[in-house]
Amino acid sequence: MVPVDESKMPFFDCLYFNLRDQCHYKEAAKQACQHQKIPYLDTFDLWMSRGENWRKSQMSDDGLHPNEKGYATLFQEVSNWALLRKIIDK
């Protein structure tokens, strides 16, 4: 999950997504994965740590989905995830 761009909300004048709610959903998913011993890559926190200008440069005009650059970033993050690298390198 990547953060939304709140400045683009409401989406289609009817849906409103915000970072606070998104963080709660992310934490619920993370805890569920931990409980089931499923690895979890926290892309939300990664993207949040890079600052608002960087995040906006990775997002499509709808404020919900990554743009081409954002999807390339996600690909790199997953590809370079230490846990995945450990599995692949076995």
Tell me what pLDDT residue 77 has.
95
Can you spell out the DSSP letters for 49-74?
A: HT-HHHHHHTB-TTSSSB-HHHHHHH
pTM, rounded to two decimals: 0.83
Q: Could you give phi then psi for residue 59, rounded to 5 degrees?
A: -105, 150
Say if residue 88's pLDDT is above 90: no
Q: Which residue has the higher pLDDT, 72 or 4?
A: 72
Domain boundaries along the sequence of the chain: 6-88
What integer pLDDT is reported at residue 13 of this predicted model?
Answer: 67
